[in-house]
Chains A and B, each alone.
Chain A
């Protein structure tokens, strides 16, 4: 899976879960201010991504540092690569 494919699938998964417009999913979009998501949504986002990519995220403290969409893309790419290695 290429990085672009990971980004595309990440965006599609969270757009469906949180009923977001794909056009709003720009890398600089802030989860809180721009996309209107909160801490409960963050919990569910972890589950959605675990199921989408077959990875284990759980209560990884790195998740707490994610602020915008590009942070999430980097995180999932790292996680996916780590899983493959």
Chain B
């Protein structure tokens, strides 16, 4: 079976840096940090991290009530990012609603804030009286995908993968496969999440959250650094419009990059602690699908979240495959870990890196850790012609994903 080529024609982002893919990339180029002290977190008994990267100042009044009523913040972020991606790609109304466009968009869970609101009432007297009709639409696992599809009239398939921190990357992979197989001509793909203390607590409980930089928020997280102490949670949404090459050509669309490989593997050695071998295998599978060998990759965008164990395992896997010649960086030092959105936001940055020929270094990497020294870790922006990028994302639960991006050539 002949697989179709898949290209990226639109990008959309809502990140802790603000709205827009351009704003995101400029903040990364400028080396900004989106991490702030959050006073509310300090009031939670036993919670170590008091920092996060939150989306600020979104004006959602422009979204009509009938659309907004079923949305928690993560769906709002996803809708704004989706509109940006479709507008950039000049996807007109007929194409949006005609069935050729589908959506693959996931989040880690439904809205925890809304669940909290429900149980706050429910547990008082175990009664559902007073529960409003919109509740379920905000807590269901496919809330973001369904809300965006409903609002934009997307009539193709609605997929809502959920794989925690690998969700965004996996959603792009699913969209890529749907187009390659000829099931859809276009797929809007990505991830979204909204911050809740439960997310930070989840990592804190398993001793994987950053807790030592509460008085210096912009110094954490510190991927690959000697003094890294864990994850910093953030929020947002990243959406990419994927399209068959034939469709993009027929529309005269501006092609930003090509996706030439995707792989996802399971690490069954542990539900929480990553092992280098399945990570390496995942990257090898993605490279094989792209028809590339490791030496042909110009840059590795790491998942690296700033945890002691995760960064070491990933750098060992990358080192095994790519040695010390290929630059490696993580973007979580700038924007924290946006959970389901992280893979998509980082992939957007990778597309921009391909386009501008810049490798963004890891923020807060002051003293590269000895155990991460198997890879090349740039400390400042490298200007170089980028033809190929591989991008990793991993998740609790043992889910690994890798995507290979290429500069587009006929």
Contact = CB atoms under 8 A, between A and B. Distances in A.
B133 A19 contact: no
A42 B69 CA distance: 13
Nearest to A58: B129
A64 to B, nearest CB: 15
A50 B134 contact: no
A58 B129 CA distance: 8
B130 interface: yes
Interface in B88-145: 129-134
B130 A51 contact: yes
A47 interface: yes
A43 interface: yes
A36 B64 CA distance: 11
B130 A43 contact: no
A80 B20 CA distance: 51
B43 interface: no
A47 B134 CA distance: 12
In this complex, the member of B129, B130, B132, B134 whose beta carbon has the largest number of chain A beta carbons within 10 angstroms is B132
A35 B131 CA distance: 23
Contact of A36 (B66, B129, B131): B66
B396 to A, nearest CB: 35
B132 A47 contact: yes
B133 A43 contact: yes
A40 interface: yes
A38 B134 CA distance: 12
Interface residue tally on B, bucketed by range = under 10
A50 B66 contact: no
B132 to A, nearest CB: 5
Contacts of B133: 40-41, 43-44
A28 B132 CA distance: 26
Contacts of A50: 129-130
A51 B69 CA distance: 19
Interface string A3-15: 0000000000000
Contacts of B132: 43-44, 47
A19 B65 contact: yes
A63 to B, nearest CB: 14
Nearest to B61: A19
A47 B133 CA distance: 10
A18 interface: yes
Contacts of B134: 40, 44
Contacts of A40: 69, 133-134
A50 B66 CA distance: 22
Contacts of A43: 132-133
A18 B134 CA distance: 13
Nearest to B130: A47
A18 B133 CA distance: 13
Contacts of A58: 129
Interface in A16-43: 18-19, 36, 38, 40-41, 43
B339 to A, nearest CB: 29
Nearest to A42: B133
Interface string B130-163: 1111100000000000000000000000000000
Interface string B62-73: 000110010000
B163 to A, nearest CB: 31
Contacts of A44: 132-134
B362 to A, nearest CB: 45
A36 B134 CA distance: 17
Interface in A39-61: 40-41, 43-44, 47, 50-51, 58
Contacts of B65: 18-19
Nearest to B132: A44
Contacts of B131: 47
A39 to B, nearest CB: 9
Contacts of B66: 36, 38
A29 to B, nearest CB: 16
Contacts of B129: 50, 58
14 contacts: A18-B65, A36-B66, A38-B66, A40-B133, A41-B133, A43-B133, A44-B132, A44-B133, A44-B134, A47-B130, A50-B129, A50-B130, A51-B130, A58-B129
Given A43-B132, A47-B131, 4 more contacts: A36-B66, A43-B133, A44-B134, A47-B132
What are the nearest 4 A-B pairs in CB distance?
A43-B133, A40-B133, A44-B132, A19-B65
